[in-house]
A and B are shown apart, each in its own frame.
Chain A
Amino acid sequence: MKHIISILLENEAGALSRVAGLFSARGYNIESLTVAPTDDASLSRMTLVTRGTEDIVEQICKQLNKLVDVVKLVDLTGDTYVERELMLIKVHAEDQVRDEVKRLVDIFHGQIIDVTDTSYTLEVTGDSEKIDALLQALTKITILEVVRSGRLGIARGEKAFC
């Protein structure tokens, strides 16, 4: 099953490679991973998506917690949470395709953020299913480039993690 794990870690050189190294050394899978400093510059917040049986995910969480750089960790999957992903996508767009792409972008509440005579660059946010759905809808159009941020997650409700 898919698990989305939120991790607060020391914003130190090497902290990311400790997490990544743990996954490769123990053969765990990482579906996506995003990391950036928080409002407290000494901390980074990481969102990691992994798949595994309950036992494996329990081990993953324990092993992550054991890393000296990890301050706190929560498996969001156990609770209700909001998840978002950002995608930037560059497509070939000429003639009537331009209209069609524009229509699709509107339907998905996205934006066109860069334009040339022959291309559009689009921006969309949403949960991963929505992003996947847009990609699906664009299959007939020539996609030049796709960048996805990987998922971010945050628990619903007023309770804060840090």
Chain B
Amino acid sequence: MELTGAEIIIECLKAEGIDHVFGYPGGAVLHIYDALYKQDEVKHILVRHEQGATHAADGYARSTGKAGVVLVTSGPGATNAVTGIATAYMDSIPMVVITGQVPKPLIGNDAFQEVDSVGITRPVVKHNFLIKDVRQIATTFKKAFHVATTGRPGPVVIDIPKDITAAKTRFSYPANLKMRSYCPVNNGHSGQIKRALDLILSAQRPMIYTGGGVILSNGSDELRRFVGKLGYPITQTLMGLGAFPASNPLSLGMLGMHGTYEANMAMHHCDVLLAIGARFDDRVTGDIKKFCPTAKIVHIDIDPSSISKNVKVDIPIVGDVKHVLSQLNHQLAKTQKQLDESALKNWWVQIEEWRSQDCLKYDRDSAIIKPQFVLEALHKITEGNAFVTSDVGQHQMFTAQYYGFDEPRRWINSGGLGTMGFGLPAAMGVQLAHPDETVVCITGESSIQMCIQELATCKQYGLPLKIINLNNGYMGMVRQWQEFFYEKRYAMSTMDGIPDFVALAESYGHVGLRVVKPEDVQPALEKAFAITDQLVFIDFITTQEENVYPMVPAGGGLNEMILV
């Protein structure tokens, strides 16, 4: 039997086990919407803006490890999706985005709602395709999901002209696939593994620095085993939080610009650094010339181009983090070599001295609500088990510092691109993937307004998110930089015309709460989390000119932090 291109697309999604598609209809994808209408296996979630669709699919992917799927129309549908595609690209999130295109004969004619989607998205995708024949649909989808989810994951765009979704052919989904030009390596080189372990065991002042790669490869268990066995200190990047439990004493918390004093000092003074699934981002290293001056570096990463890109390393291991860590665990179990217990003990004495600075202290008796206080209260009430998404700004850093993630895939934020507007739609994707879990979105009064329209989507699908709005009346992070580096000239960083968020939430049919006194924080959270069948928007009026500390100023080394 022959199927239309549109029907084939749905069959491909089913074959890939896709249960949710996030999208928004329009002329070029109407055949596909018609095919969606006629079945009920693949559920379509209608967002209110295509950026929301991409972030929702992204949140779905980050919280499950499966590819998120997006469907948008040509022209403005595709361009609206670009921010979300770039967000996923920067954080290596598996995603397949289907963009409609004008009919093939019209391509290149400046037709109505035509843009060169493949051209526009090229620099922000792992790969993209323009389908030119209905017979290519099945193999293209197979390739797209394969490329998106293997190796270093990333978004893949499939652009499909409208006439091709109407054309017919026989459908069969390829069982397997060989691509001569794409074959990621999973296992690390055994010689390099032995060499790396020798170096790691010979360390006097070892340090382990892990990133989002551990989470992407599902390597958390292997990491815990390895670090636990060695008893070495570990720090995690913004993207890596949760792979190793924050509550474990071996964890020094986050590193980098707003990392902890102990993590950054330990980085600076270590003699052997093991970097795992992390990419030496400038927000992590500070001034590269001053980075880890005395360390020999081992770097495990699936992407060869991440290795020695920013920092020259001594022992590179290309491979999937989970695989390489289990190889390392295996090697560790059988090696004769002993680590230097007494050196390690001295190192920990030094680290504990740094830790005793208590760099995350803040005024717990403040008469005005402190954002840090809200996050600690949130951690308590959710027992540290919630899925937490965030937007971008101070509230994001405070969450990373004060929420203490113990499990992977629970902390969902835009690290690489830093996209304001990410938090709410991402939380929708997380909630749809985990209907029975608590999902919280931490945001600021500026960020939330970038995708606020998605409150309607939450209503339509009954998503009982808890939105924590840390309302300081400023683009706080911008204001902080202006305070530090522009003598408090707060150019355009004051948020005027802030809506009444409580009334706004209510107008969308949700519950809205406002909290202005510190003593009301706990009761308000209790009230909000007792409501399990509705979205609750809690507007916390916080201190206005709070700063995120500690901080490595631009151009500083990790040992040059500003403390409170």
Contact = CB atoms under 8 A, between A and B. Distances in A.
A68 B122 contact: no
A69 B181 contact: yes
Given A55-B308, A58-B308, A21 B122 contact: yes
B304 interface: yes
Contacts of A14: 118, 122, 128, 130
A71 B180 contact: yes
A10 B118 CA distance: 17
B317 to A, nearest CB: 15
Interface string B518-551: 0000000000000000000000000000000000
Interface in B88-147: 118-119, 122-123, 126-128, 130, 147
Nearest to B118: A14
Interface string B181-213: 110000000000000000000000000000000
Contacts of B342: none
A59 B179 CA distance: 23
A17 B119 CA distance: 9
B516 to A, nearest CB: 47
Interface string A1-24: 000000001100110011001000
Interface in A17-43: 17-18, 21, 25
B139 to A, nearest CB: 13
B26 to A, nearest CB: 24
B205 to A, nearest CB: 27
B303 interface: yes
A14 B308 CA distance: 29
A21 B147 CA distance: 20
A83 B146 CA distance: 38
A54 to B, nearest CB: 11
B309 interface: yes
Contacts of A149: none
Given A14-B118, A68-B147, A9 B130 contact: no
Nearest to A68: B127
A17 B181 contact: no
Interface string A43-62: 00000000000010011001
Given A58-B308, A59-B309, A71-B181, A66 B122 contact: no
B338 interface: no
A6 to B, nearest CB: 15
Nearest to B305: A62
B181 A21 contact: no
Contacts of B309: 59
Looking at chain A's contact residues, the main secondary structure is helix
A52 to B, nearest CB: 14
A58 B308 CA distance: 9
A68 B182 contact: yes
Contact of B181 (A10, A62, A63): A10
A21 B118 contact: no
A154 interface: no
A70 B181 CA distance: 6
A25 B89 CA distance: 15
A113 B181 CA distance: 41
A77 interface: no
Interface in B289-334: 303-305, 307-309, 312
A65 interface: yes
Interface in A63-98: 63, 65-66, 68-71
A10 B143 CA distance: 14
Contact of B304 (A17, A62, A70): A62
B122 A18 contact: yes
B308 A17 contact: no
Contact of B122 (A10, A17, A55, A71): A17
Contacts of B304: 62, 65-66
Contact of A66 (B123, B179, B303): B303
B123 A21 contact: yes
A17 B123 CA distance: 10
Interface string B6-19: 00000000000000
A80 B127 CA distance: 34
A9 B303 CA distance: 20
Given A17-B122, A21-B122, A25-B123, A59 B305 contact: yes
Contacts of A13: 130
Contact of B305 (A55, A63, A69, A71): A63
A18 B118 CA distance: 10
Given A10-B181, A17-B119, A68 B126 contact: yes
A60 to B, nearest CB: 10
A151 to B, nearest CB: 24
A32 to B, nearest CB: 22
A146 B2 CA distance: 55
Contacts of A71: 180-181
Contacts of A62: 304-305, 307
Contacts of A59: 305, 309
Contacts of B307: 62
Given A17-B119, A18-B122, A66 B180 contact: no
12 contacts: A13-B130, A14-B122, A17-B119, A21-B122, A58-B308, A59-B309, A65-B305, A66-B305, A68-B126, A68-B147, A68-B181, A71-B180
Given A63-B305, A68-B179, 5 more contacts: A13-B130, A17-B119, A18-B122, A21-B123, A68-B147
Q: Please name the 6 residue pairs, one residue from A and one from B, whose CB atoms are nearest each other, closest first.
A: A62-B305, A71-B181, A68-B127, A62-B304, A68-B182, A25-B123
